[in-house]
């Protein structure tokens, strides 16, 4: 049953949300982390269970089956889950902030009523497609096209890649070209259902990290979509995507925070237990200074991520701050994971301890939903306006 909480929870309610996410992660995720990682297994059944806890529709209003909470609570949930497993945190983030949020922000009332309840409860898992094989940051050159038919419907042809839940997602929001190449008003968002003829999942990627989060192609071969699958207005797809990515950056920043915190907590605990030369290695300045740097950067990252969430909840401009949060938190996660391996020493290079998985998972954070270099471009443009 979905827990109903106030849209602006007090400290006690926030603590309850954190504890709920923490307990779920410890009980349902931690025992399976390395098994899922080794097998590159996407545990689809887990997401239905998370739907019962309200984790799959955090931002969705109660009238559509969600918990009706805000980014403050959403950041907390992603943080707690990602401390245990970045793969599951990534999938929860992509489902909530991309596919589900796109329909919530730009869908018609009929579309919201049709798709959001199943997405919010985890009955359906969502995918979101912008990236293509030869267009990463350069989305304006996308080749996937939708041609309008005489009856108002559309025929889609092309492919998207690096798509979270590309094989398992029951619903996908995809942005495709309906106008001229490089025209920012030449792209449109569509809702695609797994059962649509001409739509299928393609190659599943074998990855360095985040291996339990499914990443695959979306392939369209004369995929016929009725006119009511258009999200918003024709030609709005690129503009919509940029607004969706503002929230997506907060998601990845929260994911980064969780992975960084998980790496730090593991290193801290190990440094207190591991002895060399007759004392715990945490007593050596070389180790204690590493821990001090990690803890300081974690605090700074969380303040920036929380500020981005506050602005988003207040419906204030967030593009610059969300890019800053994503940039800084992702780079902090990489540094914390790296130092975590160093503190574990030889054991940090083995799968017996968690340090190596944080190390493998963290690198995606500086790449997905806009590389660190793209975040700097977004930030500098905002500064120089």
Q: Cβ(4)–Cβ(59) under 8 Å?
A: no
Positions annotated as catalytic residues are 369
Instruction: Count other C-beta atoms under 10 Å from residue 358's C-beta.
Output: 29
Distance (Å, whole) CA 258 – CA 190: 32
**One-letter-per-residue 3-state SS of the chain:** CCCCCCCCCCHHHHHHHHHHHHHHHHHHHHHHHHHHHHHCCCCHHHHHHHHHCCCCCCCCCHHHCCCCCCHHHHHHHHHHHHHHCHHHHHHHHHHHHHHHHHHHHHCCHHHHHHHHHHHHCCCCCEEEECCECCECCCHHHCCCEEEECCCCCEEEEEEEEEEECCCCCCEEEEEEECCCCCCCCCEEEEEEECCCCCEEEEEECCCCCCCCCCEEEEEEEEEEECHHHEECCCCCHHHHHHHHHHHHHHHHHHHHHHHHHHHHHHHHHHHHHCEECCEEHHHCHHHHHHHHHHHHHHHHHHHHHHHHHHHHHCCCCCHHHHHHHHHHHHHHHHHHHHHHHHHHHHHHHCCCCCHHHHHHHHHHHHCCCCCHHHHHHHHHHHHCC
Distance (Å, whole) CA 323 – CA 319: 6
Phi, psi of 144 (to 5 degrees): -65, 125
Give exposure, 259-271, as e/b (b: 16+ Cβ within 10 Å): bbbbbbbbbbebb
């Amino acid at each position: 049953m979905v827990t109903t909480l106030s849209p602006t929870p007090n400290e006690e309610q926030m603590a309850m949300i954190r504890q709920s996410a923490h307990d779920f992660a410890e009980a349902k995720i931690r025992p399976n982390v390395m098994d899922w990682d080794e097998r590159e297994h996407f545990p689809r059944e887990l997401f239905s269970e998370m739907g019962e806890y309200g984790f799959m529709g955090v931002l969705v209003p109660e009238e559509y089956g969600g918990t009706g909470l805000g980014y403050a609570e959403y950041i907390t949930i992603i943080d707690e889950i990602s401390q245990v497993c970045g793969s599951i945190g990534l999938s929860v983030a992509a489902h909530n902030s991309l596919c589900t949020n796109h329909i919530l922000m730009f869908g018609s009332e009929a579309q919201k009523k049709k798709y959001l309840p199943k997405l919010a409860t985890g009955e359906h898992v969502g995918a979101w497609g912008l990236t293509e094989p030869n267009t990463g940051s350069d989305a304006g050159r996308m080749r996937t096209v939708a041609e309008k038919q005489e009856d108002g419907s559309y025929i889609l042809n092309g492919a998207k890649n690096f798509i979270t839940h590309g094989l398992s997602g029951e619903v996908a929001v995809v942005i495709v070209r309906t106008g001229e190449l490089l025209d920012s008003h030449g792209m449109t968002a569509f809702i695609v259902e797994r059962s649509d003829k001409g739509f299928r999942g393609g190659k599943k990627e074998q990855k360095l990290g985040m291996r339990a989060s499914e990443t695959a192609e979306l392939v369209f071969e004369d995929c016929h979509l009725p006119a009511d699958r258009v999200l918003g207005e024709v030609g709005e797809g690129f503009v919509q995507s940029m607004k969706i990515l503002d929230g997506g950056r907060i998601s990845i920043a929260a994911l980064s925070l969780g992975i960084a915190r998980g790496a730090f907590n593991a290193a801290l605990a190990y440094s207190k237990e591991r002895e060399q030369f007759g004392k715990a290695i945490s007593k050596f300045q070389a180790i204690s200074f590493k821990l001090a740097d990690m803890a300081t950067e974690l605090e700074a990252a969380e303040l920036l991520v929380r500020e981005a969430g506050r602005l988003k909840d207040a419906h204030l401009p967030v593009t610059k701050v969300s890019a800053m949060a994503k940039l800084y938190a992702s780079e902090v996660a990489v540094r914390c994971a790296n130092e975590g391996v160093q503190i574990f020493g030889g054991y940090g290079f083995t799968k017996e301890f968690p340090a190596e998985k944080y190390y493998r998972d963290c690198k995606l954070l500086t790449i997905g939903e806009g590389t660190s270099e793209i975040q700097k471009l977004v930030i500098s443009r905002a500064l120089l306006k």
